[in-house]
Structure 1
């Protein structure tokens, strides 16, 4: 059973979905990486401008290593832009930077789903860390269903984190489009490109949710219900 099980197809499907979504966002970003901002703004300049226009003075902007590793840390009040985004004046890079600014705006406005996600991070990390050892221990102890059930419950925290993440990311993209338009940073033609880039990025979160659900279902089918290898 530990070498092959028909339920593994669920994990494979989840991996394929995630890989397709990741490939799509990368190809979309690259496709529009030559579409330069008409006003010549770089992504870093746009991020600073958005924060300034929003009267957010306690958030810094920095460059970090990696490709599309952009993020906003509510704990350190730091907006980090990847090497491929920070200095780029492409509309796609500006869209990514504006999306991260959307998270800073959420934080500034005490957006409840963002606070919930931030608070749930240690819970999700704990669940992911402890779940598999509990399940395996339950199996070794002659399929102790109590331990296995607790392990599956902890494993579900990763799925719940993805559920909480989805509205946070969608709202950040909505805020990004609004402030780019209202602040007259980009025109409608440029905003159309940003929408495509952010839509592709949103699909990665949908894919992560589906992959997490399939993995949880796989674990339940594999270990739930006193399933034994008799």
Structure 2
């Protein structure tokens, strides 16, 4: 139990903090006005980069924004799509950054997309096998679960450069195209840095979960 609290509770708390931080940063930066909406900023960024064929759609939800590589569409939440704020510009152009990665075959994105099926399988079936193996004393089954869960860790690790690069592209294009002034980049950074913390927390939690179960199984062998 001591090992559990040492390895798993801190990243779990960091995850809760990161979720609060991103919502807080988005709320505060939503009060800082911008010269255009999030959808307009993303459209300008995409068109300037030769990606006029990439669509932009509004979807329900809060912070439900994402880029769909299969449909080649940016899907933005109402607050981001119509919002004329620094928060809206930051999030919208971050998602546009993923479209740039897709168009230019950015290697970490290609690897991440290829890893999605394995990660989904590992997070579901892997944990089932792990719990069943531990519960019934079937060590080989538990190790199979650990191996499958390692795909989740791999996905989280490769996701970090993908998200960091999309944010860097967003800030660079917003300034270069004059959508924000140079001194306004700090507002965009507050939103994107808070979002980055959620990716770091998720990665840390996945890595330490894997470490915990590996150590648990190794200890059971003694």
Q: Judge same fold: TM > 0.5, yes or no.
A: yes
User: What is the CA–CA distance in structure 2 between the aligned matches of 1:45 and 1:112, rounded to whole Å?
Assistant: 28
Give how far 1:149 is off: 1.1
Match of residue 22, structure 2, among 25, 37, 49: 25
2:171 is the alignment partner of 1:177: yes
> Counterpart of 1:8?
4
Q: Which runs of 5+ in 2 are unaligned?
A: none
User: What is the CA–CA distance in structure 2 between the aligned matches of 1:200 and 1:80, rounded to whole Å?
Assistant: 20
> Counterpart of 1:41?
36
Match of residue 66, structure 1, among 54, 61, 85: 61
After TM superposition, list the pairs within 5 Å mapping 1:52-63 onto structure 2: 52-63=47-58
After TM superposition, list the pairs within 5 Å mapping 1:39-118 onto structure 2: 40-118=35-113
TM-score by length of 2: 0.93
> Counterpart of 2:218?
225
> Counterpart of 1:138?
133
Match of residue 152, structure 1, among 137, 146, 150: 146
**Greater percentage in helix:** 2
User: What is the CA–CA distance in structure 1 between the aligned matches of 2:219 and 2:129, rounded to whole Å?
Assistant: 15
Give how far 1:168 is off: 0.4
- Look up the SS of the partner of 2:8 in the other structure: helix
User: What is the CA–CA distance in structure 2 between the aligned matches of 1:98 and 1:47, rounded to whole Å?
Assistant: 5
Give how far 1:57 is off: 2.4
Q: Which runs of 5+ in 1 are unaligned?
A: none
TM-score by length of 1: 0.90
Give how far 1:121 is off: 0.3
Aligned-residue CA RMSD (Å): 1.6
- Look up the SS of the partner of 1:136 in the other structure: helix
Q: In the comparison of the two structures, how many residue pairs are matched?
A: 220
